[in-house]
Amino acid sequence: QTCALPIYGADLTATNASNLVYASNSFDNTGTLMLEGAGPNDGPASQFDIGGNYTQSGSGSVTNVNGYLTAAAMDILDGVVDGTGEISAEVLIDGGVISAGSPGVSTGALGIQGDYTQTSAGTMNVDIDSLGSDQIGVSGNVDLDGTLQVSLLAGFTPLAGQSFVILTWGGTETGNFSTFAWAIGNGLMFQESFDLTDQELILDVVTVTQTESGSAPEPASLTLLCLGLAGLLVRKRKPR
């Protein structure tokens, strides 16, 4: 049974260490759900425990997790899920956007206790500034597809040789993003590398001339184009 609680543009905000329990049913969000983190004068962060699945749909829908959200599964079909808290669920991004931190405003880290799956319709947003990058940490398996969207905040321009860890996992990793704008400008571009030992997905900043083609590679051909760098890199590349 699904008990739908559409919010229709109003905000449902849990503050001051609120502990919301939706014990037996699934939760349908078509508006805005905000779980606030611990403030300087508050107790622990807010928490929302759902007995069934958490589903989000609607182009303007938002789930902001700066506290803790627990569900059997989280299916994001549209809208945005973001924050610096922790999601305990099997997470599916299928038409929506996931972003750590506050998209377009500040970077942050978002934790997922479970597996993470992104379909061809899903998007992962990563912001990068002078302090670092967004990072999503997954305890289980990761299966990637769809779009990786990278934004540079506050006029920040990275330098060649810089690296940003954007995703970690504790299980296995399969797949790769099918859409990504590699070019940064000023003769620089991002280059993907999978560190299979430390279980990290890294964006390296390189000059365009460091690739054999002199242009941004497609994900499927990235390994072949970067053979000339293999002796210089200490990370183990994921085979394509």
Higher pLDDT, residue 198 or 226: 198
Distance CA 56, CA 238 (A): 32
CB 135 within 8 A of CB 129: no
Per-residue pLDDT tens digits for 197-213: 999 999 999 998 865 44
The average confidence (pLDDT) of the chain is 82
Per-residue pLDDT tens digits for 68-124: 999 999 999 999 999 999 999 999 999 999 999 999 899 999 999 999 999 999 999
CB 48 within 8 A of CB 14: yes
CB 57 within 8 A of CB 30: yes
Query: How many alpha carbons fall within 13 Å on the CB side of residue 142?
Result: 23
Distance CA 193, CA 148 (A): 14
Kindly report the pTM of this predicted structure.
Answer: 0.81
Average pLDDT over residues 18-39: 78
| CA atoms 52, 53, 58, 63: torsion sign | positive
φ, ψ for residue 167, nearest 5 deg:
-155, 135
Burial degree of 141 (CB within 10 A; 0-12, 13-18, 19+): middle
What element of type H or E holds 17?
none
* Statement: residue 235 has pLDDT above 90: no
